[in-house]
Amino acid sequence: MAKITAKSYDILVQEEESILSNLLSSYKSPVLVLVDENTQTHCLPIFQKILGDFPICEIKSGEEYKSLETCKLVWDAMLSNKLDRQSLLVNLGGGVIGDLGGFCASTYMRGVDFIQIPTTLLSQVDASVGGKLGVDRQGLKNMIGVFANPQMVWVNLDLLNTLPEQQLVSGFAEVVKHGLIADIDLWNQLSKISKVSEVDDWSRIISRSIDIKNRVVMEDPFEKGLRKILNHGHTIGHAIETLSFKSETPLLHGHAIAAGMIMENFISYKRGNLQYSSFLDITEYILKIFGKATLSFPNEISEVVVHDKKNRGGMLRFSLIPEIGKCEYDCEVSMDEVNAAIAHYQSL
């Protein structure tokens, strides 16, 4: 349906399976497929005829396993299956599999090839695109990692049928973000959707969302400037997500980012940049789609925000939208503004 070409690899949306099959058959050295217990059960059978009888490495699903300890298991599996520098790692899974698997491939023998087959909406429109790879450390997201591009990203829309509704909703947050920061037409299209489960044609939405991220990444591959706009909603959102892991009911990534977008847009509105009508429209829509997140340890959010990777010189740096469809990066934000945004969200 769509082929979106990046600088050094292809992002294929529902293309012919022969393209993937031909790529896999071109590798004469060992190939390893990385899965978790969910993709092993629900997604691997869909690709079995393409992937063949390649050996499997299974890890546990969940953000808590996105760690160096899990990397050791993957590296050991790569060693035991005799992968060499001409080998390939196939990452079949969501954001954790893609981030961690790509990191393991990029550091094994100083780098072997890998491809991404994202199985969730979140990983299809966000995590698998852009070459950011890594793992969490000391409760902070993506603190250890590298930039490296896969040989290919294969987006198969049939895999969305394997997802529970809440996983679809979570991934939808990144689509909404792309509309808010870069494409008012996409935002207008999305704003007509009242329930994610009612979407009957994902192809155009996913292709447009990927195209937005890919265009930004191509212009700024190492996040020196423009690419920072992709972090809209994530400075506070990542802090909310991180703290939720300490509770009995951790938030899915998209639900945390949705809350983060409301709070960060509150900051922009209070500064007199984002019009109140736009702020209200965004807030009402996000609450309708994602609901209001229960904040775990709200008093600690500001303590986690200070560790965000975009901060510089002791100052908090946010990516804020002055209007729908545009975004500014490296906006200095005070802790008082962060706390006011948290208090506003709590009052909704």
Using a 10 angstrom Cβ sphere, with 0-12 exposed, 13-18 middle and 19 or more buried, the burial of residue 197 is exposed
List residues with catalytic annotation.
Answer: 110, 132, 174, 213, 223, 227, 231, 234, 238, 253
Question: Within 13 Å of residue 321, how many CA atoms lie on the same side as its CB?
Answer: 29
Residue type at position 343: A
The CA distance from 302 to 88, in Å, is: 41
Distances (CA, A) of 257 to 220, 293, 322: 22, 10, 18
The CA R_g of the chain, rounded to the nearest whole Å, is: 20
What's the N-to-C CA distance of the chain in angstroms?
Answer: 41
Continuous segment of H or E residues that includes residue 35? strand 31-36
CA angle 33, 210, 114 (to 5 degrees): 25
Query: Whose structure tokens read 């808010």?
Result: 180
In angstroms, the CA 46 to CA 18 distance is: 14
Instruction: Quote the CA–CA distance of 82 and 129 in Å, as a whole number.
Output: 28
The tokens for 291 are 């609901």
